[in-house]
Chains A and B, each alone.
Chain A
Amino acid sequence: MRSKWFGVAVVAEVREGKFHRSTWELLGKAYELNSKLGECVYCFVVGKVSDPKEPIYYGANKVVYVEDPELSPMRPREYVEVLKELVLKYRPSIVLGPATLYGRHIMPRLAAKLRTGITADCTDLDIDEEGNLVQIRPASTGLVMAKIVTPKHRPQMATVRPGIMKPLPRDESRGGEVIREEVKVRYYGDVEVIEKVRYETKVSLAEAGIIVSAGRGFRKPEDLWMAKKLAELLGGVMGVSRPLVDAGWVSRDYQVGFSGTAVSPRLYIAIGISGSVQHVTGIRGAKTVIAVNKDPNAPIFNVAQYGFVADLYDLIPKVIDILSKLRRTKAAHQNP
Chain B
Amino acid sequence: MRMIVLVKQVPDPQHIKIDPKTGFVVRTGVPLIVNPFDLYAVELALRIKSEYDGEIIAVSMGPPSAEEALREVLAMGVDKAILLTDRRMAGADTLATSYTLSMAIKKVGGFDLVLAGEKTVDGDTGHIGPEVAEFLGIPHVCYVSNYEGVREGYIYVRARYDDYLLRLKVKLPALLTVTRGELRPRIPTILGRLRASKIPITKWNADDIECDISRIGLQGSPTRVLEVFTPRYGRKCKMFYGDPEELAKKFIDVLKELGFV
Report A's interface with B, CB cutoff 8 A.
74, 76-77, 80, 100-102, 104-109, 111-113, 115-121, 134-135, 138-153, 188-199, 201, 210, 234, 243, 246, 252, 259, 267, 277, 280, 288-291, 296-297, 301-311, 314-315, 318-319, 321-323, 326
The yes or no answer to B171 lying at the interface (CB within 8 A) is yes
Contact of B237 among A116, A140, A267, A307 (CB under 8 A): A307
Would you call B239 and A296 a contact (CB within 8 A)?
yes
Q: Which residue of B lies closest to A302 (CB)?
A: B233
Q: Name the B residues within 8 Å of A303 (CB-CB).
A: 233, 235
Would you call A151 and B163 a contact (CB within 8 A)?
no
Q: Name the B residues within 8 Å of A310 (CB-CB).
A: 244, 247
Known A118-B94, A145-B230; judge A109-B238 contact (CB<8 A).
no
Known A106-B130, A198-B164; judge A319-B248 contact (CB<8 A).
yes
Query: Which positions 203-236 of chain B face chain A at CB distance < 8 Å?
Result: 221-233, 235-236
Would you call B251 and A234 a contact (CB within 8 A)?
no
Known A101-B162, A195-B167, A318-B244; judge A148-B126 contact (CB<8 A).
no
Would you call A196 and B164 a contact (CB within 8 A)?
yes
User: Which of A112, A144, A145, A189 lies at the interface centre, i.e. has the most chain B CB atoms within 10 A of its CB?
Assistant: A112
Report the Cα distance A74→B169, complex, angstroms. 11
Q: Name the B residues within 8 Å of A252 (CB-CB).
A: 180
Q: Name the B residues within 8 Å of A106 (CB-CB).
A: 130
Q: Name the B residues within 8 Å of A277 (CB-CB).
A: 230-231
Query: Which positions 141-172 of chain B face chain A at CB distance < 8 Å?
Result: 141-143, 156, 161-171
* Secondary structure of the A contact surface, majority rule: mixed
Report the Cα distance A307→B236, complex, angstroms. 10
Q: Name the A residues within 8 Å of B165 (CB-CB).
A: 196-199
Would you call B130 and A306 a contact (CB within 8 A)?
no
Report the Cα distance A51→B111, complex, angstroms. 44
User: 22 A-B contacts, Cβ less than 8 Å apart?
Assistant: A74-B168, A76-B140, A108-B128, A108-B131, A112-B99, A112-B130, A117-B95, A118-B94, A147-B227, A191-B141, A191-B169, A194-B169, A197-B166, A267-B258, A288-B258, A296-B239, A301-B237, A302-B232, A310-B247, A315-B248, A318-B244, A322-B249
Q: Name the A residues within 8 Å of B11 (CB-CB).
A: 141
Known A143-B16, A143-B25, A196-B166; judge A150-B222 contact (CB<8 A).
yes
Would you call B247 and A308 a contact (CB within 8 A)?
yes
Q: Name the B residues within 8 Å of A323 (CB-CB).
A: 252, 255, 261
Supply 7 further A-B pairs (C-beta < 8 A) apart from A195-B167, A302-B233.
A118-B127, A141-B122, A146-B227, A190-B139, A199-B165, A305-B235, A326-B252
Contact of A309 among B135, B142, B174, B239 (CB under 8 A): B239
Would you call A148 and B239 a contact (CB within 8 A)?
no
The yes or no answer to B133 lying at the interface (CB within 8 A) is yes
The yes or no answer to B14 lying at the interface (CB within 8 A) is yes
Counting chain B residues whose Cβ lies within 8 A of the other chain, the interface size class is 35 or more
Would you call A307 and B248 a contact (CB within 8 A)?
no
Q: Name the B residues within 8 Å of A318 (CB-CB).
A: 244-245, 247-248
Report the Cα distance A102→B162, complex, angstroms. 9
Known A113-B134, A308-B251; judge A326-B261 contact (CB<8 A).
yes
Report B's interface with A, CB cutoff 8 A.
11, 13-14, 16-18, 20, 23, 25, 36, 93-95, 98-99, 121-122, 124-135, 139-143, 156, 161-171, 174, 180, 221-233, 235-241, 244-245, 247-252, 254-255, 258, 260-261
Would you call B240 and A109 a contact (CB within 8 A)?
no
- A154 to B: closest C-beta gap in Å: 9
- B118 to A: closest C-beta gap in Å: 9
Known A109-B134, A141-B13, A318-B245; judge A120-B125 contact (CB<8 A).
yes
Report the Cα distance A309→B126, complex, angstroms. 37
Known A120-B126, A139-B228, A141-B13; judge A267-B260 contact (CB<8 A).
yes
- B259 to A: closest C-beta gap in Å: 9
Would you call A146 and B94 a contact (CB within 8 A)?
no
Known A145-B229, A193-B168, A199-B163; judge A109-B131 contact (CB<8 A).
yes
Report the Cα distance A323→B254, complex, angstroms. 12
Would you call A140 and B25 a contact (CB within 8 A)?
yes
Would you call A192 and B18 a contact (CB within 8 A)?
no
Report the Cα distance A197→B122, complex, angstroms. 32
- B2 to A: closest C-beta gap in Å: 18
Q: Name the A residues within 8 Å of B95 (CB-CB).
A: 111-112, 115-118
Would you call A148 and B223 a contact (CB within 8 A)?
yes
Q: Name the B residues within 8 Å of A107 (CB-CB).
A: 127, 130
Would you call B260 and A144 a contact (CB within 8 A)?
no
Report the Cα distance A20→B132, complex, angstroms. 27
Report the Cα distance A190→B227, complex, angstroms. 41
